[in-house]
A and B are shown apart, each in its own frame.
Chain A
Amino acid sequence: MILTKTIPDFATPVHVDQVGIEERASRFTKRSIKNETKINGLMLALNMIDLTTLEGKDTEGKVKQLCYKAQHLHDAYPGLPTVAAICVYPSMVKTAKTALGNSGIKVASVATAFPSGQAPRDIKIRDTKFAVQNGADEVDMVISRGKFLEGEYNFVFDEIAAIKEACGEARLKVILETGELVTYDKVRKASDIAMYAGADFIKTSTGKISPAATMPVTLVMLEAIRDFYYKTGKKIAMKPAGGISKSKLALHYLVMLNETLGEGWMNNEWFRFGASSLANDILMQLMKQKTGVYQSANYFTID
């Protein structure tokens, strides 16, 4: 049952036309990014990565190695930026925090019974507090998609607000899991709810559901951020996650970001890529730009 009276007035339906949004998203892929624009774009993309490991089999050893990689992406290329953050489960936050030291790289932790979110609210809050107490700078929560699809928008709103409160100083990323919401209208509605409930970031996916991030879905969310900014004056950050593993696609995302929200969002405070294998592809492209030849994948470390 849809409790219309519980929908805050921000939930006024906003229509997204599927054909139109997909057409617009594909237009960005027609931009031809060359030379210095390409190098700058690749550097920026590298700097926007949330280097991620979210496996049941993660261990402290694995996380330490990933943290080392984050600080030494490719020492053969001096002057490279670092990634923005390391993204891990709450149990690994302390390890990551220690391993990263004062490198400036943030620790992001998933929380709220990631990835399904199928747990009571008090457990989600404890999960969040645990991550923050262990030193997480950022919390990636999941929304209750079941409740959202039932039309319980107020429940979803309140839950996000409660987690935001539990985050304290940590920045909150709200994962909509767009692959489970399916339609663009729903993605838009979930984005609006998340932003008004206190999200600092809105994020597409957990990476556990296919499809994960797509350009049209990200565009719907960027447009929601733009409208929210114009209404409230508050900037919200964006994080597409999952499925972005190639430099070229990352550049297309940056073109889309730049043409939708403009220069103000073109840094890792306001945009992130949730990805694990993107970094090495970018490194490979940067080395190609520098040396004129492609190097084999064996020259780029995997951690």
Chain B
Amino acid sequence: MAKVAKKNTLKLKFDSARNLAPAPESKRAAKIDPQYDLFINGKFEKPVSKKYFATINPATEEKLSMIAEANTADVNKAVKSARTAYDKTWKKMPPAERAKYIYRIARMIQERAREFAIIETLDGGKPIRESRDFDVPTAANHFFYYAGWADKLEYAFPNRKTEPLGVAGQIIPWNFPLLMAAWKIAPALACGNTVVLKPAENTSLTALKLAEIIQEADLPPGVVNIITGAGATGAAIVNHADINKIAFTGSTEVGKIIQRAIAGTNKKATLELGGKAANIIFDDAPLDQAVEGVINGIFFNQGHVCCAGSRLYVQESVFAAVVRKLKDRLETLIVGDPMDKNTDIGAINSKAQLDIINKYIKIGQQEGAEMYQSSCAIPKKGFYCRPTIFTNVAQSNRIAQEEIFGPVLAIQSFRTDDEVIEKANNSPYGLSAGVWTDKGSKIFNLTTKLRAGVIWANTFNKFDPTSPFGGYKESGYGREGGLHGLSAYINLIK
């Protein structure tokens, strides 16, 4: 462990920086129906199951709406409609025509961006600044990007012929509900597949809003079906005999179940699973920007990010300086009402997730790590967690090994390049990593040796539709985004 150099008691005060007058976004700018049905074959249909479940606002614990729960019969209907649409319409349609629909969806998301942002924040608890500036625009960009590929697949795969896979079953998580729907739907449609998509049960609303847009865009019925429900609904999709491809983003645990379920079938799969990314700061790094990158890396979306930089490695000679800067920056983060435009850290997505995070915070303390939390107040109602960092952490601590999926950072010191490469790779996960140094050669040395799908240099958590994303090891397989993302939805023939 790095010893903190001579005790320096100087301290900056940031209380007034956190206490700004409220600047809430208006709820009224978005319409949420009291009840949502399943979107099958271009229409909203009541579930065969006749069951509905409540979706709540994690920031206030108030009920937002009732969501239909699809059972096996509903899944059968959705898959059948997707199959019919595939055979009769979508695969035969000239690619440039398919592109027109995808472009239309992209433009309509942009037109209704404010409404999407508000609903995303109400349903999921993420700060409105993030849904407004990141989730919604990036989702629209994905549709724009893949719309462009629809009639250019022959250039994406030169001298090869491609064919779509058929019906894709897509299961997405609760951390970026609309964005994950876009990541899944856009490339599938561009390549000529039809889709049955299931959003996470906590955060179905923006996917259902997207269904409204798809309906208005006049997409042929059945090309995209959006059905809601929990794990059992997802299992029915995974196990359905007439599905050609499973695309899943979520936990490694469920990923393993899916992999077992489709073993021996013809189903293709891409799995984007958990992570425990290493963010590495060398002593020649631009320290203030590195600290900002660490903050973005772990506290973006309350840390509910599979590629979150949840393990921080700091070279020992700058360890004390970095930790002090981190603590100062932690104090300036505004935690609270996600609808307030100034909020940096919103609500934890669910009670269950908050319990998991609190469990790990306790484990960290029991393991002897030193905890530091922002001194900010948090709202009494709703699910909130103070941004938390742990120092005095070792590789063998559980908080340094297991994915917490919350605003909790485990900080370790290191001494040499080889040591940090070894430690960064010493994880069952391998989704992303970050390297902070002023030296280009060091960046290239590390990026070739770190076993992670995405490695950011002197930045973190940057996403672009043109850039592939996916993991090594237990972080999954297959790539989404960019040219690579097309391969996941086509067969190469000839």
- Residues on A lying within 8 angstroms of B by beta carbon are 14-17, 19-21, 23-24, 30-38, 223, 226, 229-230, 233, 255, 258-259, 261-264, 266
Question: Is the C-beta of B458 less than 8 angstroms from some C-beta in chain A?
Answer: yes
Q: What are 29 sample pairs from A and B whose C-beta atoms fall under 8 A apart?
A: A14-B286, A15-B284, A15-B438, A17-B438, A20-B292, A20-B293, A20-B458, A21-B288, A21-B289, A23-B292, A24-B292, A31-B20, A32-B342, A33-B20, A33-B23, A34-B22, A37-B21, A38-B21, A229-B12, A230-B8, A230-B10, A230-B324, A233-B10, A258-B14, A259-B17, A259-B332, A262-B12, A262-B14, A263-B14
Knowing A19-B459, A20-B458 touch, does A264 contact B13 (C-beta < 8 A)?
yes
Interface SS, B side: loop
Closest 4 CB pairs of A and B: A20-B289, A32-B23, A262-B12, A17-B286
Q: Are B288 and A263 in contact (CB under 8 A)?
A: no
Question: Is the C-beta of B355 less than 8 angstroms from some C-beta in chain A?
Answer: no
When distances are taken between beta carbons in the complex, the residues of chain B under 8 Å from A30 are 129, 133, 341
Q: Of A16, A35, A263, which one neighbours B21 at CB under 8 angstroms?
A: A35
16 more contacts with CB within 8 A, not counting A14-B286, A38-B21, are A15-B438, A17-B286, A17-B289, A19-B459, A20-B290, A30-B129, A30-B341, A32-B341, A34-B23, A37-B21, A226-B12, A229-B10, A258-B17, A259-B332, A263-B13, A263-B14
Q: Are A19 and B458 in contact (CB under 8 A)?
A: yes
When distances are taken between beta carbons in the complex, the residues of chain A under 8 Å from B10 are 229-230, 233
Question: Is the C-beta of B15 less than 8 angstroms from some C-beta in chain A?
Answer: yes
Question: Is the C-beta of B266 less than 8 angstroms from some C-beta in chain A?
Answer: no
Across the two chains, which residue of chain B brings its CB closest to A31?
A: B342
Q: Are A223 and B288 in contact (CB under 8 A)?
A: yes
When distances are taken between beta carbons in the complex, the residues of chain B under 8 Å from A33 are 20-21, 23
Question: Is the C-beta of B16 less than 8 angstroms from some C-beta in chain A?
Answer: yes
Q: Which of B349-387 contact A (CB under 8 A)?
A: none
Across the two chains, which residue of chain A brings its CB closest to B292?
A: A24
Q: Of A23, A35, A261, which one neighbours B12 at CB under 8 angstroms?
A: A261
Question: Is the C-beta of B285 less than 8 angstroms from some C-beta in chain A?
Answer: yes
Across the two chains, which residue of chain A brings its CB closest to B458?
A: A17
Q: Are A262 and B289 in contact (CB under 8 A)?
A: no
Q: Are B289 and A34 in contact (CB under 8 A)?
A: no
Q: How far is the CA of A14 from the CA of B289 in the complex (A)?
A: 12
Q: How far is the CA of A157 from the CA of B370 in the complex (A)?
A: 42
Q: Of B14, B21, B286, which one neighbours A15 at CB under 8 angstroms?
A: B286
Q: Are B12 and A264 in contact (CB under 8 A)?
A: yes
Q: Are A16 and B341 in contact (CB under 8 A)?
A: no
When distances are taken between beta carbons in the complex, the residues of chain A under 8 Å from B438 are 15, 17
Across the two chains, which residue of chain A brings its CB closest to B15?
A: A263
Most buried by A among B15, B17, B287, B293: B17
Whole-angstrom distance between the Cβ of A118 and the nearest chain B Cβ? 33
Q: Are B17 and A262 in contact (CB under 8 A)?
A: yes
Across the two chains, which residue of chain B brings its CB closest to A257?
A: B17
When distances are taken between beta carbons in the complex, the residues of chain B under 8 Å from A19 are 289, 458-459
When distances are taken between beta carbons in the complex, the residues of chain B under 8 Å from A233 are 10
Q: How far is the CA of A38 from the CA of B342 in the complex (A)?
A: 14
Q: How far is the CA of A121 from the CA of B14 in the complex (A)?
A: 41
Q: Are A37 and B14 in contact (CB under 8 A)?
A: no
Q: How far is the CA of A262 from the CA of B328 in the complex (A)?
A: 9
Whole-angstrom distance between the Cβ of B280 and the nearest chain A Cβ? 15
Q: Are B16 and A263 in contact (CB under 8 A)?
A: yes
Q: Are A24 and B289 in contact (CB under 8 A)?
A: yes
Across the two chains, which residue of chain A brings its CB closest to B19?
A: A37
